[in-house]
Amino acid sequence: MDYFTSEFWTALLAIVVIDLVLAGDNAIVIGLSARNLPRDQQKKVVFWGVFGAIAIRSLLTLVVVWLLKIPGLLMIGGVLLIWIAYKLIAEEKKHDVKSTGNLWSAIKTILIADTVMGLDNVLAVAGAAHGDFILVVLGLLISVPIVVWGSTLILKWVERFPIIIYIGSGVLALTASKMIFDEPFIKEFFAENPIMQWGLSLVIVVGVLLLGRLKKQNQKSEIAKG
C-alpha cells in the first residue's frame, strides 16, 4: 500500500477508531488491576501494560493477517466482525477483574485480560489493515496510549455522546463488508458489479445499527419492567 494515498489514511483512521472504541475496556482493566498498588507502582503497571498490549496485539494481528490470506477465512472473519459490531451496541460489557497488591501480578493480569478481551480488536484491525502490518503498528501506537492515559475522558465522551459507539459499530460493519467482498472467489464478481457491492455494504451497516439499537431498547424495557 502507498503511504501517501487517501486509501492509506482512510484505513489508518478506521484502525484508530476501531482501537478507540474496542480497546476502551483495556483501560478499565488496567485501572481495576492496579488500583490497590502504591502510586509509583501504578505508573509502572500502566507503562508495562501499554507496552505489553501493543506487543501482544501486534503479534496476534500479524498472525491473523496471515490467516486471512487462507481461502474462505476472509469471509468468515467478515461475518464474525459483523457479529462483533452488533454486540458492541447490543450488549453491556462486564468487568470483573480483581485488584492485586503485587506489581508483576498486576502486569500479568493486564496482559492476560488484554489478550482475551483484545481478540475482537485484533480481527477488526487485521481486516481494516488490508494485510499491511505497518498500518497495524501505526494504529496501535497512536490509539493504545490515548485509550490508557485518556480512558476517563473517553468513557465520559461515550456516556455523554452514545453516538460514538454507533459510529464505531458502523466502521466495524463497513470493515466487515469489505472483508467479505475481498474474498478472492467472489471479489471478481463484485468488482464487475460495484453498485451491488455498495448496496449490500449499506444493508450490512444499517442492519447492524438498527438491530443493535432494537436489542438495546428491548433490554432497557425488560430492565424497567423488572
pTM of the model: 0.72
Top-confidence residue, 174 or 106: 174
> ∠ CA(88), CA(120), CA(73), 5° rounding?
120
Query: Using CB atoms within 10 A of its CB, is residue 84 exposed (0-12), middle (13-18) or buried (19+)?
Result: buried
pLDDT tens digit sequence for 7-58: 888 888 888 777 777 666 666 666 666 666 777 777 777 777 777 777 777 7
> Is pLDDT of 151 > 60?
no
Predicted pLDDT of residue 195: 92
pLDDT in tens, 60-91: 888 888 888 888 888 888 898 898 889 888 87
Q: CB within 8 A of 31, min separation 6: which ones?
A: 151
**For position 94, what pLDDT does the model report?**
54
